[in-house]
Amino acid sequence: MFILRLWNYFCGYAIIIIKGVKIERFINLAVVNGIYIWDIEKIDYTTIKAKINLKDFSKLRIIVRKTDSNIKIIEKCGVPFKMKTVKKRKWFFFGLGALFVFLYILSSYIWMIEIHGLKSLDEQAVMDNLNIAGLRIGISKRRIDKREIENSMLIKMQDLTWIGLEIKGTKAFVTIVEKGPEQQPISREDPCDIVAVKNGVIEKILILNGDGMVKDGDTVQKGQVLVSGTIIRGDLPNRYVHSMAEIHARTWYEEAEEIPFEQIEYKKTGKAFNTYAIEIIKKKYERNKKIPFEEYNKSHREMHLLNFGSYVFPIKLIITRYEELKPLDIRLNEDVAKARCEERLNARIKMQIPEDAVILGSKIEYFVNEKSVMGKIYVEALENIGTKAKIN
């Protein structure tokens, strides 16, 4: 029905008033002759109001004559009549069309460049380089080859680690990552000391260059000078050398963990419940539904509903899923608690020990009371603790 109405609107229709004694006959004759009339309303005893297609209007004349009635057009609707007003206001619609064309043309150029991630580099320098690479204000979006600009920028500017180019509308977003202040390796000519990076007991010290300040079996503190690059020999003036040494030391690590016997474990029951919300430009619209679970796991999922190319409309559908959990009170026995404790301790201690260290031994101690198991792990390792430090 709606399609028919739309079609009629496009073809144009008229609202007419028909006056006559034999109104019913008029309607029947119109139907028989294939004239579609709709929205017939009775106004008074001899008058009806109806809508009729523009094309069929001329066919009505025969029926009017046959039934001795009067027709009067009271309103003309539809596209053909609208077109008349368009013709009258030609320049207005021309301007409207021109506006859209203008907008389209303008929106296909880059009008703004934003640079993010600058730390020490000069914005103007980056901008100049971008201009040379091919990204400048006023350039057509079609002529931009993102990959090429990114590559040529990386080649041209040595201080960049990464550059990302993103075009949103008429704006170009340039994200850059600068090279951080690099750890300058101390060159072989520069004098340096070797200091300890952590506490330990020296197991083996092998000096290639420099003066040893400690010997095997010494306990050293973090930051202590192990091998000195300043060589002092009696009356001779001080000499500075680049010290080199292999220093292996025993180091200790410890970690503690407590596991209570009384534990609450949550188990999924398999029941789930979804709520939906719509977010339009940071504003959230949702129905307040009661969550039918007492204990639950909540997870979010967001979806953008409308995308036009790279432009994302700020309309989001947020689906929140609640999964029911059932708390179970359990009591661990001592062995299980200890096993769990050990597992956690091992995992945590692993984070502390550097990868190249050799583990010499480990020991776990348990302290059990009525409520919990307390575990303590001690690990002894052998590792290189020396690092070079420049002498100023």
Partner 1 sequence: MNSKSYKIKEKISDALELPKDITLDIPKISILGTDSVLIENHKGVISYCDNQIRVNTGCGVLTVSGQRLTIKSIIQEEIIITGNISNVSY
**Binding residues for partner 1, per CB under 8 A?**
1, 23-24, 27-28, 30-32, 34, 36-42, 48
Min dist. Cβ of residue 44 to partner 1 (A): 9
Min dist. Cβ of residue 26 to partner 1 (A): 10
Place of tokens 């301790």: 345
Q: DSSP string spanning 157-198?
A: -TTEEEEEEEEETTEEEEEEEEPP---PPPPTTS-EEEEESS
Nearer to partner 1, 37 or 196 (CB): 37
Min dist. Cβ of residue 42 to partner 1 (A): 5
Min dist. Cβ of residue 25 to partner 1 (A): 9
What DSSP state is assigned to residue 369? -
* Pairing assessment for the beta strands 171-178 and 112-116 based on DSSP bridges: parallel
Nearer to partner 1, 18 or 226 (CB): 18
Taking the C-alpha atoms of residue 112 and residue 135, their distance in angstroms, rounded to an integer, is 10
Q: Which two tokens stand for residue 121?
A: 């580099």
| Residues pairing with 59 in the sheet | none
Nearer to partner 1, 44 or 329 (CB): 44
Min dist. Cβ of residue 34 to partner 1 (A): 8
Q: Which of 251, 252, 253, 255 is nearest to 383 (CA)?
A: 251
Question: Up-side HSE of residue 33: CA atoms within 13 Å toward CB?
Answer: 18
Nearer to partner 1, 39 or 265 (CB): 39
Min dist. Cβ of residue 300 to partner 1 (A): 42
Q: Which two tokens stand for residue 319?
A: 């689906």
What lies within 8 Å, CB to CB, of 222 at 6+ separation is: 196, 197, 198, 199
Min dist. Cβ of residue 30 to partner 1 (A): 8
Nearer to partner 1, 28 or 140 (CB): 28
Nearer to partner 1, 23 or 195 (CB): 23
Nearer to partner 1, 1 or 303 (CB): 1
Specify whether the CB–CB gap between 319 and 301 falls below 8 A: yes
Min dist. Cβ of residue 295 to partner 1 (A): 47
Q: Residue 373 belongs to what H/E stretch?
A: strand 372-384
**Counting beta carbons within 10 angstroms of the beta carbon of residue 391, is it exposed (0 to 12), middle (13 to 18) or buried (19 or more)?**
middle
How many other C-beta atoms lie within 10 A of the C-beta of residue 42? 10
Nearer to partner 1, 23 or 60 (CB): 23
